Every structure is written in C-alpha cells, then in structure tokens.
Amino acid sequence: MARLAEFLPAGRVATNKEEAIDVVTRYDQLMHQRLDFIKKKSFGATAGTLGMPMYYLIIDEWSATNAAFNQGITRIDKDLRYKWNSLITDISMLNRVPGFGLGIISQQISVINSGLNSSIQEEAGLKLHFGSANMSSYRLTFGNDIQIPEMNLETGEAYAWIEGLTSSGYVIPFAMPEIEPNKLWNYLRQSLSCTQDDEKYLFFTSKGQ
C-alpha cells in the first residue's frame, strides 16, 4: 500500500503515526468543506444526488495501525491517540452524505482483536471476510443476526454483507477476479494517473445545481 505514493501527490500516503494524523486530518477537513457546500444546496441533497465524485480513505492493517497509536504513555502519545480516534469516528459518522468513503483492512475485525470501535463497525455499508475461518471469526465480522452458510472458502473467495442487498439476513458468496500481480500494478498506475486535484473535484457537481 505504501508504494501507492509513487502515483499520488505528496501527503496522500502515511507510513508512521505523525503522517497518518496529517493524512486523516486533511481528509476530515475536506469532508467538512464538502458538507458545508452541500448544505447550501436543496434540502436533502447528497454527493450522490449532485453527481459529485467519491473520495476514499483506505487504512491498511488496521490492527497494527491502531496498536501503534495505543502504545506510549507520554503526553504526545496520548494526544496523537486522541486525535486518531476522534478523527476516525468523525469520518465514519458523517461520510455518507458528502461521499467520503472509509475502507478498513484488517486480519480480524472486532473490538477485542483489532480495537475497532463497535459504533464505527456498525456504520459500515459493506463487509467482506476473505478466506476460510471458523464461525466465531465470521460472527466477529458480521454479527450474530446474519445467516452464514458452512462453506470452505478458497484463496480470493469471501462472504459479503452489503447494506440494502443482504437485508434478508444472509451473506453473499464473493470471489475476486483473477489478476496477475504485475497487471494489477499497471491497472493502479493507469487509474491513478488522472489529476488528483482537490480544488477541481471537491465541489464539482454533474447536475449543475
């Protein structure tokens, strides 16, 4: 994930706590700027109804990242920990209307194992659990109210819970397309080659409203 810095403007990829706070702070600021913009539009407007482009914040290895912030007892450590938790909570609670996605990748998603706040987890609109695991692990991801079939998942296969589509109470089998690593890197290079200009896209609407 850190190698994506090759394709993105400076300040978009973080590899330590201080950089992570800077990236997330900037993301949160942009989100609130767009929220203020949308509030001036017609009642009930969202980024989706206005045709505004999505923004995404991806946090890889959430468990390790969260553990890093939980280490240390100095005043600086505590300050960074508070900022991290408050920023992630703010984004997860307000990101839908402005179209600011939050993707969290972790070996295990649970309050105990990964330190993921349950209120944040409940805001997720899409949950994927890759690979074969025991039922307890699936429950940590999807909760106790979701029906999970007993299947042996292979590499690249997952169970998916999608808000609005899995309202019947069942997860959906999901499989990643088979892509060679070198081709995937080229795809990323091409898709991220467009202008990553916040000033251009933050207030852009395709609806002319």
The residues facing 56 across adjacent strands are 101
Most confident of 27-36, 115-124, 133-142: 27-36
pLDDT of 7: 86
Q: Is the pLDDT at 18 greater than 80, yes or no?
A: yes
Task: Assess if residue 164 is contained within a domain.
Answer: no
Task: Assess if residue 45 is contained within a domain.
Answer: yes
Task: Assess if residue 186 is contained within a domain.
Answer: no
Task: Assess if residue 161 is contained within a domain.
Answer: no
pLDDT of 56: 94
Share the mean pLDDT of the chain: 86
The parent domain of residue 16 ranges over 2-124
Asked which of 6-10, 186-190, 195-199 is least confident by mean pLDDT, the reply is 195-199
Task: Assess if residue 109 is contained within a domain.
Answer: yes
What is the C-alpha to C-alpha distance for residues 189 and 155, in angstroms, rounded to an integer? 25
The sheet carrying 157-162 orders its strands as 126-130, 157-162, 172-175
**Residues 6 or more apart in contact with residue 35 via CB below 8 angstroms:** 94, 97, 98
Q: In this predicted model, which residue has the larger pLDDT, 176 or 205? A: 205
pLDDT of 40: 94
Q: Is the pLDDT at 119 greater than 80, yes or no?
A: no
Task: Assess if residue 33 is contained within a domain.
Answer: yes
**Residues 6 or more apart in contact with residue 195 via CB below 8 angstroms:** none
Total Cβ atoms within 10 A of residue 95: 23
How many domains, in total, are found in the chain? Answer: 1
Task: Assess if residue 7 is contained within a domain.
Answer: yes
Residue ranges of alpha helices (H) inside the chain are 17-39, 62-70, 75-94, 111-114, 118-121, 135-142, 181-191, 198-201
Task: Assess if residue 140 is contained within a domain.
Answer: no
- Could you tell me the pLDDT band of residue 182, with boundaries at 50, 70 and 90? confident
- Could you tell me the pLDDT band of residue 22, with boundaries at 50, 70 and 90? very high
Q: Is the pLDDT at 149 greater than 90, yes or no?
A: no
